[in-house]
Structure 1
Amino acid sequence: MYLDERGYTVLKTIVNNPAITGKEVEASLQLSRKQLSYAIEKINDYLQDNGMPKIERLRTGKFIIPVAVIEQYQTEEITGDGTTYIYTDKERGLLIFLMLLCVCEELSIYHFTSKLEISKNTFLTDLKKLEQRLEEYHLEVLYSRQEGYHLVGSEYAKREMMVTSIRGILKIPRGKETIMDICQISEEMMEQVEKQISMIEERLQVRFTDERLKELPLIMCLIIIRTQKGRILRELPETFQHIAGTKEYSVMLEFAKEYGITWQTEKLFLTAQIQISNFHTLQTRDSAQEEELMRASEEVIVNFENLICVTINERETLLEALFQHIKPAFYRMKYHYHIEQSILDMVLPQYASLHAIVRKSIGPVEKLVGVEVPDEELVYITALFGAWLRREGILELAPEAKKRAVVVCANGISVSNFLYFTLKELFPEIDFIACLSMRDFATYDETKFDIVFTMVRLETAKTQFVVKPFLDEISKMRFRDKVMGELVGIVPRKLDVSTLLDVVQKYADIKDEEALKREFAAALNPETEEEKSDNVRTKFQIGLKDVLVEETVQVLDHVLPWEDAIQTVAKPLLDRGDITERYVQKAIDNIKADKPFIMIADGVIIAHAGVDDGAKRVCLSLLTMPERTDVYGYMEADVVIMIGTPDPTKHLEVLEQLNHIIEDKKSLQLLKKAKKPEDIIKLIQKREKEKKKC
């Protein structure tokens, strides 16, 4: 069943103009009242089938449209002349903070209620919530008749909260203008600071991300205003002392001089704002610090390749992308800056195994910065590696008959790559030709593309879709429905197996529910035998217990030369048809040609070839020997493992579980002392149960 063209047109009309009335819809689309009512009924059926709330129609003729529906199906900017944006309590709290920070006069309740157009009770409630948030910054809001409402705490803490507030308010409509009004920033000052930031980019040969370029001028303006009012940073964390002497410091000395900023602490703080900024491009590396970061980035990629048993193509391009993220992240960690918008909850549910492997790979950076990389930072690197693995696993379709699209992302390189390759996978019908920043898009030739996928709405006559960078599987499918509906004029209604099963249960006794589900799924979604085989592997996550079974485990009572050991460990996989002879020979040739460090634990090596070298499915085999054998003169091993995978990511869960066992010294000793294959299988099962309990 489909949402027909009329229904979809009505849906678009309503969500793109929530203030429209029923009569106005009828007039614009030339519908009768009965036709509109029927269309609304069908739209609500469709929305409910897709887990969305219904649209309600009031007696006045207006519509109540749930926010979730607007976010999912809106395709045009809502300008709403004469309408007023209603702040949330959190947003009002941030505005109250900025008023406390920037307004010179004695602030009474009247100042806040009149400026924010709220009641006294609302202000007091918002203030109480703000005070709770300020506790983590060790700040307080006090009141006295002489001083009115005012902030108490260190200047450094106020600056931290200032940055948080700017980022929060920039997300709302006319956020920049609101901040400028509240903080009394003149147009002249803003224009001057924006020009100077452009000059800073030129001097440093960098290009800030669009997101950072929005907030940086406001941060700089408020620093200038604070210093001009005598609100000076008296102290900074010790790590800031290493800033002096960097090229960013030299550039920011000129900026500070322009505004009469003479205090060393302020110069260091200004420089830190540049160093922690994310970049879209970064051409030069002319300092010892940057060279060290580049070497650390290279080591991270080598570690990652060894751990996932896959060789990454286009390593130089990945290295540049990784460095672009690691440099500002290095300074954020060094200066203890927090990432406000963490993508942890969006990435980890889908990429937990990959994240665990990235955690094991990141050691060189941690050694350099002197602290453990927090998950809030590491998850961006996980997203970057995930995007790269998916990029190298995608088969390009012929683009002749496809619509061409660009992706516009205001965030850094990691999120941009992740979004770009997510969309390429989600829409094989579309030819994605470029991933652009907002500034790049402004000068990009519009004749080259038909569609824009963007994180923020843009001024363009081209069809555009606003998308979030991290979507769960349900959201992906809804977004795909929305896009394809917009492009072709219809939206497919998906038949859900569980819903059908519920209907059948009302009228019949089901003997085998799981079998019936499979039959329904097969009938509703016919597949080729090859597709069925692939889907079994993709719908159910493959774990170590699925691939390491008694027939793929060997316990030898003698030592073999290393090539014979690899041939022997490969034999069960060859017999099962999991890999080809070419795969085995390639694994041996790799050791001879490149001498890769494939030892994942003391005396344990994991042999493998590439994803295109003859592995037909995710598979793994293992053999143990009583003593170690020399491996081509640069390693020794008494446990030899072979892993195969036709895909860069499907085997990551297997590797994570394997590492969990191998890294435990007691488990590794038990594995090596095992007398028969079933002892090793029992050990794996036991460790898996223990992990689940944890």
Structure 2
Amino acid sequence: MYLDERGYTVLKTIVNNPSITGKEVEASLQLTRKQLSYAIEKINDYLQGNGMPKIERLRTGKFIVPVSVLEQYQTEDIGGFDTTYVYSDKDRGFLIYLMLLCIREELSIYHFTSELQISKNTFLTDLKKLEHKLEDYHLEVSYNRQEGYHLVGSEFAKREMMIMAVRGILKLPNGKDTIMRICRISEELMSQVESQIMVIEERLKIRFTDERMKELPLILCLTVIRTKKGRIIRELPEAFQHIAGTKEYSAMLEFAKAYDITWQSEKLFLAAQIQISNFHTMQAGESEQEEELMKASEKVIENFENMICVTIDERETLLEALFQHIKPAFYRIKYHYHIEQSIADMVLPQYSSLHAIVRKSIQPLEELVGAKFPDEELVYITALFGAWLRREGILDLVETKKRAVVVCANGISVSNFLYFTLKELFPEIDFITCLSLRDFKEYDDKNYDIVFTMVRLETSKMQFLVKPFIDEISKRKFREKVMGELTGVIPHEVDTAGLMEIIKKHAIVQDEEALKREISNALNSEPEEEHLHMMNTQFSIGLKDVLVKDTIQVLDHTIPWEEAIHMVGKPLIARNDIEERYVEKSIENIRKEKPFIMIADGVVIAHAGVDDGANRVCLSLLTMPEKIDVAGYMEADVILMIGTPDPTKHLGVLEQLNSMLEDIEALHLLKTAKEPKEILELVQNEKKEK
């Protein structure tokens, strides 16, 4: 939906002055209370329709404006933090924790209510919520008249929660200044630590992400302050003992010496902060641990290629990017660091099929770390692989009207994902590079027209604020917004998917995939490749869409493996799904490369590359009564052939196929079926159960 003029004016008034009250808005815009309430309701509908949180209105008349809304819609600089931003209960919880951690005098209720400008009851409510959160860290808040409010628990646990609180407050306007004030960090100490971090970057040949460069100086400053007060980590988890001797440990010895930090446990803690950091760029080292990580990463890519039936070009570049994310993730998992900001909810709706395949591919790394990769970490790897598949599946246009750079404050996985998401979304724009905030400030090449950025920048170039993970509806709206501003025309696309749903209500569709193609071709008067690509992405292709009666064969005898692959490919050639050369390439791959393409006991899936003659996503299946030898290294009684002209469109098919074959009963029914109809029923039932 779109905002009318009044709603837009109210939104701008609030975001440009977040401390304004409802009465002040009414007075400045000459609105009645009812008109303002209606406008706020419309604004929140608009925000939610664009995937953003609502603006809350408090009983006091003030507004709680989410930071993401400020970033997106604010057009004027705001003043000090204290007068312009209303804390949420979560914000106050983090601030209460930092006060408990850093202020040495006896803390009473007055200290908290005065600092946070809240009532006694609000403080007590916030404290209860904080205490519930502290249970995860085995910490508690204690109170007595002599000491006031104070924290009880291990110093290591306090540091873990300290890091979480720092990250939470940094997301707020003027968050750094707020932390420095509450924790009494001097400008001199901050300046020293920031300079030393740059020296560490030079020594280790790394470049921290912009996000990490904001939080790391604060974490190190607070560590220095804690140690000077005698708040020393006495015990560390066993995994930390292996840090000594690493290059990160050696680099942090100089830092520890500068602040008279002599305790081994503190040196290990400092080194760990470097190891778990995300990097924008880094160079792989030659330590034994890094060599093992590199080998495991290579195996992950190999597993991934086998599972998605696609060979990835520029493998070495992907390996470098994967290693760049895997190294800090490995240490975060090893040291049991909490990951608060999960992007799973943003990635999984688009990449659930890919995510399931990545989880199966990641086993070599899990064996190395000795633990499962949590989804909070795994989704970043999913994002990286997704970005790479999109990169290799998109044709660059020779002529472009506009040139753009992407500025992303996050690490390599998110940066790649954002870059290639935008590259796919805007084939009309030539995307030059992806930069960190620091890199953007130093970027010499000014021959670009547009900046896509996660945070508002000081630049004369046209800029668009974008979030790294957006659903399909948000993508379409964002594209309309950008193209509308660039061309003055909002593009209109025919809702082919909607037409399909209408047809299915009134007719029985025998072959959904074929009908989709026919509708797309009939409605599309300009069948350029990039336009077809955008229309096809409206569909989520599933197993039942491609495995139909015509592509299933049940033999009552066995045949040699090469003949079996020729036979399983025939229906796809007849439907013009693939060309004959695709079958020949599939056989050549098995004979020469010997890829492990067995996806279940006795089930192999033959395939060639996306450029080897596959015209669309397709699948065929052939069963035999007994297993046959396949090229001397596999045995199979079920042969499948999958084709795809795109690295990602077939992933839903593969996920559903793997899910069905993991069911022992379903696999037995597949192998004992006497006619194609039985297998077709099995596929249809599998879809319904999902």
Give the structure-1-normalised TM-score: 0.86
Q: Tell me how far apart the structure 2 counterparts of residues 106 and 187 of structure 1 sit (CA, whole Å).
A: 25
8 Å contact kept, 1:555–1:676: yes
Alpha-carbon separation, structure 1, partners of 2:445 and 2:120 = 51
Q: For 1:313-462, list aligned pairs within 5 A.
A: 313-402=313-402, 404-445=403-444, 447-462=446-461
Aligned residues between the structures: 657
CA separation in 1, counterparts of 2:605 and 2:214? 48
Q: Which moved more, 1:390-399 or 1:139-148?
A: 390-399
How far did 1:210 drift? 0.8
Task: Check whether the contact 2:405–2:432 (CA below 8 A) recurs between aligned residues.
Answer: yes
Matches for 1:468-547 after TM superposition, within 5 Å: 468-488=467-487, 527-528=524-525, 538-547=537-546
* Structure-to-structure mapping, 1:531-610, within 5 angstroms: 538-610=537-609
Corresponding letter in the other structure for 1:389: L
Aligned amino acid, residue 225 of structure 1: I
AA aligned opposite 2:559: L
Which amino acid in structure 2 is aligned with residue 467 of structure 1?
V
Report if the CA contact (8 A) 1:12-1:75 is conserved.
no
Name the counterpart of 2:172.
172
Residue pair 2:72, 2:465 contacting (<8 A) in 1 also: no
Find the counterpart in structure 1 of residue 290 from structure 2: 290
In 2, the alpha carbon distance for the partners of 1:151 and 1:177 equals 24
8 Å contact 1:408–1:437 — kept in the other structure? yes
Give the residue type in structure 1 aligned to 2:376: E
Q: C-alpha distance in 2, partners of 1:282/1:658?
A: 38
Does 1:464 find its partner at 2:430?
Answer: no
Q: Which has the larger displacement, 491-500 or 393-402? A: 491-500
Which residue is 1:613 aligned to?
Answer: 612
Gaps of 5+ in 2: 56-60, 508-514
- 1:669-690 deviations in whole A, cap 9, x for unaligned? 332233222232233334444x
Residues 343-384 of structure 1: per-residue CA shift (max 9 Å, x gap): 011111121111000011001101111111111111110111
Q: Does structure 2 conserve the Cα–Cα contact (< 8 Å) formed by 1:629 and 1:636? A: yes
Q: Deviations over 1:519-554 (max 9, x none)?
A: xxx99x953385998788543322112211232111
Deviates more, 1:545-554 or 1:272-281: 545-554
After superposing the two structures, state which structure 1 stretch, 76-85 or 98-107, moved more. Answer: 76-85
Taking the aligned partners of 1:144 and 1:13, their CA distance within structure 2 comes to 47
Distance of 1:9 and 1:215 partners within structure 2:
34
Displacement of 1:203 in angstroms is 1.4
String of CA shifts for 1:260-303, please: whole Å, max 9, x gaps.
11111111111111111111111132101101111111111111
Identify which range, 307-316 or 594-603, moves more after superposition. 594-603
1 CA distance for matches of 2:95 and 2:11? Answer: 34
Contact preservation (8 Å) 1:556, 1:623: yes
- Aligned-residue offset at 1:577: 1.4
Following superposition of structure 1 onto structure 2, how do residues 607-686 of structure 1 map, counting pairs within 5 Å? 607-686=606-685
Residue in 1 aligned with 2:206?
A: 206
Q: 1:603 Cα shift?
A: 2.3
Q: 1:302-317 maps to which residues of 2 (within 5 A)?
A: 302-317=302-317
Q: Conserved in 2, the CA contact under 8 Å of 1:75 and 1:464?
A: no
Q: Within 1, Cα distance between the matches of 2:254 and 2:299?
A: 36
Residues 134, 2 of structure 1: CA spacing in aligned structure 2 closer, same or farther, 3 A cutoff? Answer: closer
Which whole-Å CA distance do the structure 2 matches of 1:396 and 1:230 have between them? Answer: 59
- 3-state SS of paired residue (1:395): coil
Shift in CA distance, 535/681, structure 1 to aligned 2, threshold 3 Å:
farther
Shift of 1:333: 0.6
Q: 1:161: which partner in 2?
A: 161
How far apart in 1 are the matches of 2:85 and 2:495?
38
Two-structure CA RMSD over aligned residues (Å): 3.8
Kindly state the Cα deviation for residue 435 of structure 1 after the two structures are TM-superposed: 0.3
Task: Name the CA shift for 1:67/1:285 in 2 (closer, same or farther; >3 Å).
Answer: closer
Superposition pairs for residues 35-74 of structure 1, below 5 Å?
51=49, 74=73
Q: Which secondary structure state, in structure 1, belongs to the residue aligned with residue 346 of structure 2?
A: helix
Q: Is the counterpart of residue 195 in structure 1 residue 192 in structure 2?
A: no
The code of the aligned residue for 1:336 comes to H
- State the alpha-carbon separation in 2 of the partners of residues 533 and 199 from structure 1: 50
In 2 relative to 1, CA 13–449 (structure 1 residues): closer, same or farther, beyond 3 Å? farther
Assess, with a 3 A threshold, how the Cα gap between structure 1 residues 10 and 149 changes in structure 2: closer, same or farther.
closer
Matched to 1:423, the amino acid is: L
Q: Secondary structure at the match of 1:339?
A: coil
- Three-state SS of the structure 2 residue aligned to 1:539 is coil
Amino acid at match of 2:192: Q
1:418-451 Cα shifts (integer Å, max 9, x gaps): 1111112222232211100111111002522222
Cα distance, 1:389–1:93 mapped onto 2, change above 3 Å:
same
For structure 1, which segment, 130-139 or 474-483, has the greater mean C-alpha deviation from structure 2 after superposition?
A: 474-483
Question: Equivalents in 2 of 1:311, 1:494: separation in Å?
Answer: 33
**Letter aligned with residue 639 of structure 1:** V
Deviations 1:178-208 (A, max 9, x none): 1011111111111111111111111111111
